Chains A and B, each alone.
Chain A
């Protein structure tokens, strides 16, 4: 059985909003609770949401090299 997660436009928008909040905005000298690694993880999550199940492996491969 194949189960595919079909993202709604709202899903994508919410992930974009989270991604831009922690990857954009004004940066000042101070502390930021989320690291840049967190941004990468958010976008990786977005790619998983967007990709049909059979394309998940190549998507991961493009970020981290051949699997």
Chain B
């Protein structure tokens, strides 16, 4: 069984990545041959995360979703043959970029007295509208630096793609904005561009 870890440009200076490499045209895939599926423990996932963070400090990287496996080297070759050019284009777009994850802690509206289902729905609607307003404001705030910005599926975090040199400026802008508004903001990262790995159009 082959565990896929990451895609990097074929000309990247990897040093000793501690993983097997499969070079194919413009990209290199880092992988591991194993006899058992990857562990689902938190520690195992974090170990992989740290490896990706360290790798992204040195070279452009498309991390694979954790736990992605293919059957054998033949399947790996087939995947790379099909997707390699697209991965290469995506890597070119992401070179020099990092992802920040922005948590937007919008306070829920105060609980009303009656506690009915209607009351719940009205409060829920108010909260969602307030969240949407905050997202719009933050999107506008970060527009000078964000190359891309996506709302994560939970709707309460944003993934923001910025140039490496704009990471601290972006953090400072968010901190200043949060201080002026009734919103708790937590920023984590910089991470590899986990949320921006979809393949580029041909």
**A interface with B by C-beta (< 8 Å):** 9, 12-14, 16-18, 20-34, 38-39, 43, 50, 58, 61-62, 66
Contacts and interface: CB of A to CB of B under 8 A. Distances in A.
B188 to A, nearest CB: 4
Contact of B65 (A9, A26, A61, A66): A26
A27 B70 CA distance: 12
Chain B: interface secondary structure?
Answer: mixed
A33 B67 contact: yes
B105 A30 contact: no
Nearest to B3: A33
B138 to A, nearest CB: 17
Contacts of A66: 117, 120
A62 B63 contact: no
Contacts, number: 117
B146 interface: no
Contacts of B186: 9, 12, 50
B135 to A, nearest CB: 16
Given A21-B49, A22-B65, 7 more contacts: A13-B189, A17-B49, A21-B45, A24-B159, A27-B197, A31-B70, A62-B108
Interface of B: 4, 7, 37-38, 40, 42, 45-46, 48-49, 52-53, 62-70, 75, 79, 83, 87, 99, 101, 103, 105, 108, 117, 120, 124, 127, 152-154, 157, 159, 186, 188-189, 191, 194-195, 197, 199
Nearest to A29: B79
Given A9-B186, A20-B101, A43-B154, A33 B194 contact: no
A31 B68 contact: yes
B49 to A, nearest CB: 4
Contacts of A26: 4, 7, 62-65, 68, 87, 197, 199
Given A26-B87, A28-B83, A12 B70 contact: no
Q: Top 3 A-B pairs ranked by shortest CB distance?
A: A24-B194, A33-B67, A25-B65
10 contacts: A13-B189, A17-B191, A21-B48, A26-B64, A27-B197, A28-B68, A32-B68, A33-B38, A50-B186, A66-B117
Contact of A33 (B40, B70, B152): B40
Nearest to B99: A20
A59 B49 CA distance: 27
Contacts of A43: 153-154
